[in-house]
């Protein structure tokens, strides 16, 4: 049974302390760090939201259709269904719903490079945005640890490219059981799991697809089990509220204030003391609010935004309305004063100053008129529509896409460079421990190669546990070793390249006169050309990738030393030098110069540009 806190009574408009049975939740919120600075940000963000430009016309009273209580914001004139409690955890305090499928057909996106965006998303995360029917996320806090918790459930009309998704989310390949659900961990600082809830889901329009969960492992079981129909005696405050809110296309967000009102109110009151005197009443709003509702959608070539603050009762709603109206007027006054001061210090002519001031006054009046709050019973709503020249923005996005792509390539190049650096550091640590480089392969007593040098380096890459699971007296493709090798260390993953699962482009230079000697001891003292002039490790082309535990590396022909090299990254590839340095070799390097960098003791003069 859900224990509703008595301090959240709608008859009270004053800030109340935490009731005893909710004290642990209040302490958790304090420990979570909703401190003074964050509160300032919250209040300032509120002001920004209230001063968003919304077109030329004021919103008339009859434009709001009162449907009763908190439904006013999220309800269209004919609401076919409610959001309900499906996939909503009872302890959640925040809700976000995104239904973007109809956006692609909107006139606003005619000049957007949607085809490019779809392919880019498919190649980046393995999901076509056009297949996303609905994304629903909830947020909360662990009352035991104070850590943030969240869940996201994604409904897809198509199938996910698991290989691409694995790389994008850095998934642990080993599945785990969470209750009856099979999941995989998402590597990172915040505990997360990914689980497919349904593989052949049937949606209301008859279309089939998949339903996925990504979020906190502690919330998976209850989120997956949460039903659409809400029993108020058994469910939490947020799903109870969502049971009365109509489901709409676009973006809908709800924050339930009941459980966090005392804490947020205290923070807001403290933060408001740093605002101008006549804006300080804004700090009272959280203590008067039962819920915050937000909806954003596209209408024709305009963006509509509806923001509603649900008062704890009608008296509180009246206070909220008055505070917002007074604060908007004060914000306009402060803005005009600031503009006037800047004009007085400028080098503009008197006529130009007057023109700028006149323009500022006209625009600020339009903004003030367009964002006036309207109250219906307990709901105080700001509605605005704005034509944001999205067509022009679409052209700009198209122009910026190459720069975005270049940024992603640069990030991948940097990560791959770091991988080579880690490998070189491991090689140096191995040499320090054994006074030699790792052999080109782990071999049996007769010298036959069994496992790659990449396996031998695992203890020096913080992968001792994985190393100990291998049977070093068995070949790489034995049943046991193949099973262990399904877990490829991140340092060997081929970032941003399409290679077969478990394959790597990070390979050693192996040969009689180059790099490591085949299945023979090689020491740093053998590099008579100097470690800084000798390549030990390199990035091969994607089609030269090998299974990471296989005792195999690229075959280098000194008569054609760049064969199979030069295309791992845009413009070239990374190499690890004997001294541990990482260099980027351009694809147009002189083959003879590259040949000199491969030999151990060629005694050739090397002039690296």
- For residue 71, the model assigns a pLDDT of 38
Angstrom distance (rounded) from CA 64 to CA 383: 9
Specify the 3-state DSSP secondary structure of 118. helix
Angstrom distance (rounded) from CA 307 to CA 73: 7
> How many domains does the chain divide into?
1
Cβ of 607: how many Cβ atoms within 10 Å?
Answer: 7
Element (H, E) at 262: helix 261-272
User: Given a cut of 70, is residue 22 above it in pLDDT?
Assistant: no
Specify the 3-state DSSP secondary structure of 45. helix
Angstrom distance (rounded) from CA 576 to CA 60: 68
As a whole number, mean pLDDT of residues 185-189 equals 84
The tens digit of pLDDT for each residue in 140-171 reads 988 777 788 999 999 988 788 878 888 788 88
Residue 347 falls inside a structural domain: no
Question: What's the count of helices (H) and strands (E) in the chain, helices before strands?
Answer: 16, 20
Residue 59 falls inside a structural domain: no
- For residue 39, the model assigns a pLDDT of 35
Residue 22 falls inside a structural domain: no
Angstrom distance (rounded) from CA 172 to CA 248: 36
Residue 409 falls inside a structural domain: yes
pLDDT confidence band for 216 (50 / 70 / 90): very high
The tens digit of pLDDT for each residue in 508-557 reads 999 999 999 999 999 999 999 899 999 999 999 999 999 999 999 999 99
Residue 103 falls inside a structural domain: no
- For residue 440, the model assigns a pLDDT of 94
Of 251, 368, 245, 362, residue with least CA distance to 304: 251
- For residue 222, the model assigns a pLDDT of 94
Distances (CA, A) of 252 to 136, 203, 297: 9, 20, 9
Residue 436 falls inside a structural domain: yes
Distances (CA, A) of 294 to 110, 137, 177, 266, 318: 26, 14, 36, 23, 19
Domain region containing 435? 399-598
Token look-up 């963000």 returns 45
As a whole number, mean pLDDT of residues 476-494 equals 94
As a whole number, mean pLDDT of residues 295-309 equals 81
User: What average pLDDT is seen over the chain?
Assistant: 80
Residue 5 falls inside a structural domain: no
Q: What would you report as the CA-atom Rg of the chain, rounded to the nearest whole angstrom?
A: 31
User: Given a cut of 80, is residue 111 above it in pLDDT?
Assistant: no
pLDDT confidence band for 205 (50 / 70 / 90): low
Angstrom distance (rounded) from CA 49 to CA 69: 22
Higher-confidence position of 38 and 608: 608
**Which tokens belong to 337?**
């004063």
Of the listed ranges 300-314, 527-541, 578-592, the one predicted with least confidence: 300-314
Residue 293 falls inside a structural domain: no
**Highest mean pLDDT out of 9-13, 115-119, 204-208, 233-237:** 233-237
Q: What's the number of CA atoms in the CB half-sphere (13 Å) around residue 426?
A: 22
- For residue 157, the model assigns a pLDDT of 86
Token look-up 């008055």 returns 322
In SS3 terms, 301-354 reads as CEEEEEEEEEECCHHHHHHHHHHHHHHHHHHHHHHHHHHHHHHHCCCCCHHHHH
Contact 401, 113 (CB under 8 A): yes
Task: List CB contacts of 498: < 8 A, sequence separation 6 or more.
Answer: 542
Of the listed ranges 8-22, 151-165, 413-427, the one predicted with least confidence: 8-22
Contact 430, 438 (CB under 8 A): yes
- How far apart, in Å, do the first and last CA atoms of the chain sit? 73
Angstrom distance (rounded) from CA 360 to CA 355: 9
pTM of the model: 0.53
**Which tokens belong to 268?**
């807001």
- For residue 603, the model assigns a pLDDT of 78
Specify the 3-state DSSP secondary structure of 221. helix
pLDDT confidence band for 428 (50 / 70 / 90): very high
**Which tokens belong to 578?**
């004997």
Of 453, 460, 482, residue with least CA distance to 469: 482
Question: What percentage of the chain carries pLDDT values higher than 90?
Answer: 47
Task: List CB contacts of 172: < 8 A, sequence separation 6 or more.
Answer: 184, 185, 186, 187, 487
- For residue 508, the model assigns a pLDDT of 96
Of the listed ranges 131-135, 233-237, 593-597, the one predicted with least confidence: 131-135
The tens digit of pLDDT for each residue in 37-76 reads 333 333 333 333 333 333 333 333 233 323 333 334 444 4
Angstrom distance (rounded) from CA 539 to CA 573: 6
Angstrom distance (rounded) from CA 540 to CA 565: 5
pLDDT confidence band for 392 (50 / 70 / 90): very low
**Highest mean pLDDT out of 139-143, 319-323, 384-388:** 319-323
DSSP state of 198: E
The tens digit of pLDDT for each residue in 249-264 reads 889 999 999 888 998 9
């Amino acid at each position: 049974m859900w224990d509703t806190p008595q301090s959240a009574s709608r008859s009270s408009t004053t800030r109340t302390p935490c009731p005893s049975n909710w004290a642990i939740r209040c302490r958790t919120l304090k420990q979570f760090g909703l401190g003074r600075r964050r509160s300032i940000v919250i209040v300032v963000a509120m002001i920004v939201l209230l001063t968003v430009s919304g077109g030329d016309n004021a919103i008339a009273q009859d434009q709001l259709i009162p449907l009763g209580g908190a439904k006013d914001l999220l309800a269209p004139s004919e609401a076919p269904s409610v959001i309900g409690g499906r996939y909503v955890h009872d302890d959640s305090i925040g809700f976000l719903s995104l239904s973007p499928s109809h956006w692609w057909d909107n006139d606003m996106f005619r000049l957007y490079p949607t085809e490019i965006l779809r392919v880019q998303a498919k190649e980046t995360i393995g999901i076509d945005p056009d297949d996303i029917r609905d994304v629903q996320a909830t947020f909360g806090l662990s009352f035991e640890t104070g850590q943030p918790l969240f869940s996201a459930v994604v409904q897809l009309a198509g199938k996910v490219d698991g290989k691409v998704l694995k790389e994008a989310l850095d998934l642990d390949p080993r599945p785990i059981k969470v209750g009856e659900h099979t999941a995989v961990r998402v590597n990172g600082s915040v505990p997360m799991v990914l689980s497919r809830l349904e593989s052949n889901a049937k949606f209301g329009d008859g279309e089939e697809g998949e339903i996925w969960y990504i979020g906190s492992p502690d919330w998976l079981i209850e989120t997956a089990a949460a039903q659409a129909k809400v029993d108020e005696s058994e469910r939490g405050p947020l799903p109870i509220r969502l049971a009365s809110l109509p489901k709409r296309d676009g973006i809908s967000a709800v924050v339930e204030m009941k459980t966090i009102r005392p804490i947020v109110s205290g923070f807001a009151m403290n933060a408001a003391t740093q605002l101008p005197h006549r804006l300080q009443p804004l700090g009272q709003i959280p203590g008067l609010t039962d819920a915050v509702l937000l909806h954003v959608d596209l209408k024709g070539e305009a963006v509509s935004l509806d923001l509603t603050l649900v008062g704890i009762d009608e008296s509180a709603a009246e206070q909220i309305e008055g505070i917002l109206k007074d604060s908007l007027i004060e914000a306009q006054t402060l803005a005009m004063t600031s503009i006037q001061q800047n004009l007085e210090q400028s080098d503009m002519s008197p006529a130009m100053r007057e023109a700028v001031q006149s323009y500022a006054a006209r625009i600020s009046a339009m903004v003030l008129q367009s964002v006036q709050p309207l109250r219906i019973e307990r709901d105080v709503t700001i509605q605005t529509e704005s034509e944001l020249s999205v067509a022009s923005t679409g052209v700009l996005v198209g122009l910026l896409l190459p720069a975005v792509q270049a940024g992603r390539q640069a990030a991948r190049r940097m990560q791959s460079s770091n991988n080579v650096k880690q490998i070189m550091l491991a090689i140096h640590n191995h040499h320090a421990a054994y006074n030699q480089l790792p052999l080109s392969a782990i071999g049996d007593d007769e010298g036959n190669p069994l496992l790659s040098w990449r396996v031998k380096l695992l203890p020096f890459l913080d992968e001792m546990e994985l190393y100990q699971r291998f049977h070093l007296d068995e070949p790489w493709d034995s049943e046991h070793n193949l099973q262990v090798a399904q877990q490829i260390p991140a340092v060997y993953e081929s970032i941003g390249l399409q290679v077969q699962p478990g394959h790597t482009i990070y390979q050693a230079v192996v040969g009689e006169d180059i790099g490591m000697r085949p299945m023979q001891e090689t020491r740093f003292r053998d590099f008579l050309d100097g470690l800084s002039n000798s390549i030990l490790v390199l990035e091969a082309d994607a089609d030269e990738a090998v299974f990471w535990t296989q005792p195999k590396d690229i075959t280098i022909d000194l008569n054609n030393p760049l064969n199979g090299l030069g295309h791992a990254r845009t413009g070239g590839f990374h190499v690890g030098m004997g001294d541990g340095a990482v260099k980027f070799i351009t694809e147009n390097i002189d083959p003879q110069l590259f040949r000199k960098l491969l030999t151990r003791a060629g005694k050739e003069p090397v002039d690296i540009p």
